[in-house]
Amino acid sequence: MRLTFTIHLFISLLSVKLLAQDQLIKGNVLTQEDNQPLAGVNVVLKGSGKGVVTDANGHFSLTASPGYDTLLVTMLGRRPSAVAVGNRTTMTIYMVLATTFLDEAIVIGYGSQARRELTGSFSSITSQQFSDIPMLSPDQALQGRAAGVLVTQSSGTPATSLKVRIRGTNSLNANAEPLYVVDGMPVNTGDFSGFYLGGQSLNALSDLNPADIASIQILKDAAAAAIYGSRASNGVVLITTKRGKSGPATLDIKAYEGVQKVPKLLDMLTGPEQEVLLNEQRTNVGLPPIYPDPASATTTNWQREVFRTAPIREYTLSASGGNQQTRFFLSGTYFRQQGIVLGSDYRRGSVRLNLDHQFSPKLQFGTSLTLSRALNNRINGDNFINGVLGSALFLGSHVPVRNTNGSYALDPFGSVANPVAEGTETQFDSRTNRVVGTAFAEYRFSPALQWRTNIGVDNLVLKEDVFYPTTTLNGSRANGSGRSDYRQNFNWLLESTLTYSIVIRQRHSLTALVGAGWQTSAFETLTASATNFPGNSITRLTAGSVKTGASSDGATWALTSFFSRLQYAFREKLLISATLRADGSSRFNQDRQYGVFPVGSIGWVLYDGKGQPNALLSFLKVRASYGLTGNANMGTLTNQAPALGLFGVGRSYLQQTSLVPLQLANPTLSWEKTRELNLGVDLALIANRLSLSANYFIRRTNDLLQARQLPLTSGFSQINENIGSLQNRGVELEVSFVNRPQSQWQWQTSFNLSSISNTVTKLYGGTPFSVGYANWVQEGQPVGAFYGSQVARIFQTQAEIDALNQASQAIYGSTAFYQSANTRPGDIQFKDLNGDGRITSADQTVLGSAQPSFFGGLANKLTYRGLDISLFFQFTYGNDIYNYTRSVGESMGSQYGQWTSVRDRWTPERPSTSMPRAAQGNPNNNTRISDRFIEDGSFLRIKNLSVGYTLRMSQLRKARLRLYGTAQNLLTFTRYTGYDPEVNTLTDQSLVAGSDFFVIPQARTLLVGIQLGF
């Protein structure tokens, strides 16, 4: 009996001990707002390292041990919670959305992180901020929305490129645009066209549909962007597209229709005034007049002939939904924008399918795929004398559109095209087919360890055909001229990452990531051209009897990468992050192929009032980072090896095939290197309703990739070298405020302001150089500086001129002149800055800069019940513009059309102190680059105004209906005399900034739209 009793007692005590040691807990996790199960939620026994992930139905089971009685429940996009176990063995846990900006999950590259934990500098843009705005490409969404990001939409032509600069210009000759990553795939950007149409270039991003975007994250400092290493020095733009959610399927229909008009026209002389001026400028230099009866001249308003009211429309149909295992998002969009200039038109159709499938609680698959096809009817545009707009301003108003026999009238001097003929007769079709897709697999070995592989493809095919009939200026010279180009760029990516996350003793949080990636891009082109066509109706090249050219070309580059990131937090107070990436590029020689880019950052949360929602101070964090990023993106589409010696083939020497050296090798060529220090503070007040983020940064770029000129006796004109350096220093401020969030009235405001100082700190030999029309690159000056002469006054008498000439001759001899032998009263006197008694190139100086002193944006949104009003301002201050268009319009020295401002020109009867005389041939060079044509480019623009009304659910049962109207580019307040102060003739060149040469302005757009959901 005693033995039996002892055995029973032992078993009982053992059972009690085991029961005390282990307790099986079961439960499910639901959404608080609609009681839907949540899959993929991390449920961890606090302090033990034990954890599981909820299955497709939100269920979990976990064995708890004594002393560990709290579950930590976390999921991206949901507010984390700590749940006490107590004596419960089953439980239901509800998770709420992360509604405060501090809880917002930020995509950081190969992962995500709560905003409160960030130690780098990020800016976020959501789809709600641009859903009512007519927009063709994703980069337009960045405009004025983020501190430190200056976006210039430098032309109103559909699908044209934008210039995006994150924290200033960081390179001179290498690509200065940011890296764009869409759902993990670095996509093709830039202009793939083989045709030069002035400064008007294609934008590869226009193939991507903004309506599919869920959010955009901008990685600005080294700590934020360094995970992308050698491509991060210009910043990184992460685009996340919309994905399906668990629950009933939804169907959304969105559509808008609108019209576009040019906001202003330039005032030009009438036909009689133009002929009077042409006669006067000839007689002023001793030539006979050519128009005997100017009063009988016709008047053609060429601007009204080429500008038009143009429609714009977009229709989008999307569906999304699924269950806890499979979720989908499917959308289709048709977009059409007719340009406000005759002959320009753009159409695009796109389809997107995003799928996510939870194969098991541990294994998940997903895809993102978009297909698009675009047709762009292009015209010769910006920076093009014989472009449609250029001809409209060049051609005098005394020339009619057509002759009496119905043919197009031509410039009497034979050098300017008829703009109506150029816009209506030229056939220029650009067709783009684009496939961008990614597929991923994700496996969770445990709640702490996760593996992910991502495969991406970006295939761009561009086919362009142009035909100039005999009715155009170009075609008339060759009896018809045609050319066809085929271009393809295939870009693929393979990446794998392993992520480990753990919380130790409720104090230490650690996340480690390691990964590797391989990317290759292959480009090829085929082109042919012909002239002498039998007529204008057959435009295929086979019809041209003279085949003027045929060629093919191609290039490939590859990148191999290894990267890692370590993130550590102590008590959610001390935040430390370190990133290391090594990239190997085929652009460089073998011993210089790899670059290593380390970055470290630290943050300290001084205050976090999670438990005090009504406190005045809600959150306060300071942070700092320092690190290195790189840039290797130098070269052209057909030359992706700037360090290698290259040879050309197919050249003819004595009718024999030959190899010709094209590029001199430089085995020491390597990466541009950007070192950046960033200091920041994040502050939240009034229960997180008022938030502020401020940053100060210094960014220095060394070893700039540039082409150094060589003596022609070397057999080469230049060699690529690492020479020169740049510095960008700036302050950024972002503020957002939500007023009365719980009332029927709601008011949301966001404001950003940036001031960035750009300086060229080193050039080869310290030698400055000119570039573009009026830009100047010099040590101690910003990129985009203007250089030229300064105007002193207008000569009123010949005696003034003679006195200056005599003083100059006393120093330099009898053949010398102060300014020119042909200077006469009414000409401009330029300043003798060095005081040597004559005007030379030594009297030129820096006249201004295209870089603004500060820039930013202000957005307001008011809602009252179903009514919403949104107002967005964009502004820049302190930047200058070289108005080359005005220098032509006020030249008074040739046959070109002139502005009405020349009515105030100098004459002996009406002496002027501001406008010089008319003189054929411009003998005094009054239109030389000078401060006469440097204008203040500051502006404040009402970029968008939107008013909408949403019908309430009770009125529509389960449907959602919103009607709205939007005005874009409604009003612009500026002192600039040209079409548009937001201008840059050559968008794709960093060194050329702030010049206006016949740039097509942005349109003012008015539209109405509907958003219907089921």
DSSP string, 836-891: SSS--GGG-EEEEESS-SEEEEEEEEEEETTEEEEEEEEEEES-EEEEHHHHHHT-
d(CA 1004, CA 315): 20
Q: Spell out, as residue ranges, where the chain has pLDDT lower than 70.
A: 1-22, 33-34, 47-49, 56, 65-68, 76-77, 97-103, 199, 611-614, 635-639, 650-655, 740-743, 952-958, 987-988
**What is the DSSP-derived secondary structure letter of residue 294?**
G
d(CA 352, CA 252): 14
**pLDDT at site 917:** 96
Q: Exposed (0-12), middle (13-18) or buried (19+): which is 259, by Cβ within 10 Å?
A: middle
| Residue ranges with strand state E in 279-309 | none
Cα 867–871–872 angle (5° rounding)?
150
Per DSSP bridges, beta strands 179-182 and 236-241 are: parallel
**What is the DSSP-derived secondary structure letter of residue 639?**
B
> Tokens for 998?
């016949």
**pLDDT at site 671:** 86
**What are the residues whose beta carbons fall under 8 Å from the beta carbon of 1008, sequence distance 6 or more?**
256, 257, 258, 963, 964, 965, 966
d(CA 750, CA 936): 27
Percentage of residues in the chain having pLDDT higher than 70? 93
Cross-strand bridge partners of residue 396:
none
DSSP string, 724-749: -EEEEEEEEEEEEEEESTTSSEEEEE
Sign of CA dihedral 220, 225, 229, 231: negative
How do residues 178-188 score in pLDDT, each as one tens digit?
A: 999 999 999 99
pTM above 0.85, yes or no: yes
**pLDDT at site 100:** 62
Mean pLDDT estimate for the chain:
89
**pLDDT at site 245:** 84
| C-beta of residue 707 within 8 angstroms of C-beta of residue 688 | no
**pLDDT at site 636:** 67
DSSP reduced 3-state for 115? helix
| C-beta of residue 704 within 8 angstroms of C-beta of residue 722 | yes
DSSP string, 140-190: GGGTTTSTTEEEE----STTB--EEEESS---SSS--SPEEEETTEEPP-S
Where are the chain's structural domains? 21-97, 105-243+939-972+989-1013
**What is the DSSP-derived secondary structure letter of residue 36?**
-
**pLDDT at site 15:** 38
Chain centroid to CA 761: 26
**Cβ neighbours around 661 below 10 Å, total:** 12
Alpha carbon dihedral 391, 394, 400, 402, in 10-degree steps, equals: -20
105-243+939-972+989-1013 CATH pick, 2.170.130.10, 3.40.50.300, 3.40.50.620, 1.10.630.10: 2.170.130.10
Radius of gyration of the chain (CA): 33
- Enumerate helices (H) and strands (E) in the chain, giving the number of each: 10, 51
DSSP reduced 3-state for 202? strand
**Cβ neighbours around 546 below 10 Å, total:** 13
**pLDDT at site 16:** 37
Superfamily (CATH H level) for 21-97:
Carboxypeptidase-like, regulatory domain (2.60.40.1120)
**pLDDT at site 654:** 63
d(CA 565, CA 222): 13
Sign of CA dihedral 762, 767, 772, 776: positive
**pLDDT at site 714:** 81
The shares of helix, strand and coil residues in the chain, as percent rounded to the nearest 5, are 15, 50, 40
Longest dimension (CA), the chain: 141
Counting every residue, how long is the chain?
A: 1014
How do residues 605-614 score in pLDDT, each as one tens digit?
A: 999 887 565 6
**pLDDT at site 296:** 93
Which of 237, 235, 238, 240 minimizes the C-alpha distance to 695? 235
**What are the residues whose beta carbons fall under 8 Å from the beta carbon of 995, sequence distance 6 or more?**
772, 773, 774, 775, 850, 881, 882, 884, 983, 984, 985, 986
| C-beta of residue 393 within 8 angstroms of C-beta of residue 885 | yes
How do residues 678-729 score in pLDDT, each as one tens digit?
A: 999 999 998 888 999 999 999 999 999 888 888 888 888 888 888 999 999 9
**pLDDT at site 8:** 44
> Tokens for 774?
């009026």
DSSP reduced 3-state for 957? coil
Which of 239, 228, 232 minimizes the C-alpha distance to 142? 239
d(CA 358, CA 339): 46
Q: How many CA atoms lie within 13 A of 958 on its CB side?
A: 6
**Cβ neighbours around 369 below 10 Å, total:** 16
DSSP string, 76-112: TTB--EEEE-TT-SEEEEEE-B--STTT-EEE-SSSE
Which of 754, 763, 690, 685 minimizes the C-alpha distance to 724? 763
Which of 457, 498, 337, 394 minimizes the C-alpha distance to 889? 394
Helix extents (H) in 444-569: 473-476
Instruction: Convert 140-175 to b/e letters by CB count within 10 Å (16 or more is b).
Output: bbbbbbbbbbbbbbbbbbbbbbbbbbbbbbbbbbbb
